[in-house]
Amino acid sequence: MSNETSEEDKGVAAALIQRLERERIPRALDLKEKVEAGGLLDDMDIAFLERVFADMEDVKQLVARNPEYHQLAVNVVGLYEEITARALANEKSA
């Protein structure tokens, strides 16, 4: 692997982390609070989660090449799994 790819990965990772901090994590925490209070996901919430899961597919290669991002990816995926599992339980009991 060349240094160029490594530098490219660092740039991509920096952009992804910035997006996580500014957009994805705050929105995910709002959704988590919503579903923990028994709320249901609306169409916008579901569209957001679909975008996140699609992005995660793209991130897999980056994480595979850069194990230092593995734990962060695991934590983020875990958060989204908690949200979707709780949302599904709420839908079933509604």
What burial letters (b/e) apply to 4-41, b meaning 16+ CB within 10 Å? eeeeebeeebeebeeeeeeebeeebeebbebbeeeeeb
Residue 57 confidence (pLDDT): 83
Tally the domains of the chain: 1
Q: Tens of pLDDT along 41-93?
A: 999 999 999 999 888 887 899 999 999 999 999 999 999 999 999 999 999 99
Q: Tens of pLDDT along 25-42?
A: 999 999 999 999 999 999
- Look at residue 37 and give its three-state secondary structure: coil
Structural domain boundaries, residue 89: 3-93
Rounded CA-CA distance 32/64 in Å is: 28
**Position 4 pLDDT exceeds 70:** no
Rounded CA-CA distance 61/63 in Å is: 5
